[in-house]
Amino acid sequence: MATQVGICNEALSEIAADPINSIDEKSSSAFYCKMHYDSVLAELLTWTDWDWAIRRTTLAAQPNDRKGEWLYRYARPADMADAIRVLPSVDQQVQNLPTVGPYSFPGWDALGRLPYAAASGSIYTNVPTAIMEYQVNAVDVAVIDTLAARAASMELASRLAMPLKKSRALKGDMVKLAEAARQRAIAESENRQPRRQVDYISEVEYARMGLMSDGL
């Protein structure tokens, strides 16, 4: 389980700097860890759609000021960093999905993701009572998976090399190692939830295979 001190000490060990017991202690290592730690974790959340940082919520309706463009306007979730997709409300979702077959999952993705626009703190879409799937802008460090925590440590190490070791060569090496750790963590996360290519299947083909279902 990742911890704040654990991520900091792993970063410090990479550049042969003194470890810390607390990020608030009076030491150079703690001072610079505290300076960079929050920004590293904030950037980590932007690297990909991490499965441990994805949330869903029913959006709160707002007066629509773009009626010529969209049917509905909703408030942006306060903890949203990046929108992933808009989903139909639960009562509009297909209930009798087949177990297997040439079927797009989820059903509402059959013709592509539902259109939306994010602007000025609002979400615009044509979906009534919409649900937003999104990436949060902050998480408990304990939920970060092992490879992502390692990538965070390496990114932090790349930022500590100059202030603590005054070495541009070390910083250059750490930047390269941090990039490799980041790509490995991203690849592992995306392998756990691969993006499927949506193929169009006609109603005739569904009926022939006994996979027809009501709904979207």
- The pLDDT mean for the chain works out to 86
Please check the confidence at residue 214 and state whether its pLDDT lies above 50. no
Looking at residue 183, its pLDDT comes to: 97
Q: With respect to residue 209, please indicate whether it lies within any of the assigned structural domains.
A: no
Q: With respect to residue 204, please indicate whether it lies within any of the assigned structural domains.
A: no
Please check the confidence at residue 77 and state whether its pLDDT lies above 90. yes
113 plus 132 within the same structural domain:
yes
Q: What is the pLDDT of residues 190-210, one digit of tens each?
A: 888 765 554 555 555 555 545
Contact (Cβ atoms closer than 8 angstroms) between residue 22 and residue 37: no
pTM for this structure? Answer: 0.75
Q: Which residue has the higher pLDDT, 158 or 202?
A: 158
79 plus 133 within the same structural domain:
yes
Q: With respect to residue 152, please indicate whether it lies within any of the assigned structural domains.
A: yes
Q: What is the pLDDT of residues 99-138, one digit of tens each?
A: 665 555 555 555 567 899 999 899 999 999 999 999 999 9
Looking at residue 202, its pLDDT comes to: 56
Domain containing residue 17 = 4-45+140-192
* Candidate from 19-23, 50-54, 99-103, 123-127 with smallest mean pLDDT: 99-103
Number of domains in the chain: 2
Looking at residue 215, its pLDDT comes to: 43
